[in-house]
Structure 1
Amino acid sequence: VWKHKPATSLFGRRVLLVDDILDEGYTLQGVRTWCLEQGATDVRIAAMTVKKHDRGLPDVTADYAGIELPDRYVFGFGMDVNETLRCVPAIYAMKE
């Protein structure tokens, strides 16, 4: 569900999607597909973090990636745990 769609037309534009984490890729796939349907000529993905596992959609990868994370629940640096700990100034992983 969109909270706010882009107000500028994407037709003929190159788009860069920026996300905090690329996990399985379902959300980014949906947003990328929507951008292409709106006429974007190219859609790339930049992710601050990328989870290391084999559950991700094969056609959704980060064109630009910051750091690779273990396959654990992570929080901090903008990523939250039940709407808390988002402002922690580092990335932490929950104990297994």
Structure 2
Amino acid sequence: MNGRFVRLGEKRRETFRIYVDGMACEAANGDTLLVALLNVVPALRDSEFGDGRRAGFCLMGACQDCWVWCADGARVRACTTLATPGMCIVTKPGMAGGRIWPRA
């Protein structure tokens, strides 16, 4: 996987494993999902409006551009959710526990 972000300086934080679309990836303590994901993938999710992949925009939870799914189908904002060990994240809605966002 080729990420959009690259860690340049601060590399001393403890790391742990998360899973992105079934692939094991490393995240660091204190990373939001946005940072953890964009270190390993070029985009966060498919747009629900059909205009391509999305990668977050405001970085503070206001724009709604960074929604991703947990493997059980729950949606979370990548920019305000901390990555935790063992987390399973899905970037394509059809893979998220059979649920497709938006849902009623």
Q: TM-score, normalised by structure 1?
A: 0.26
Return the structure number with greater strand share: 1
Q: TM-score, normalised by structure 2?
A: 0.25
Considering Cα pairs closer than 8 Å and 6+ residues apart, tell me whether 1 or 2 has the greater RCO: 2
- Max Rg structure: 1
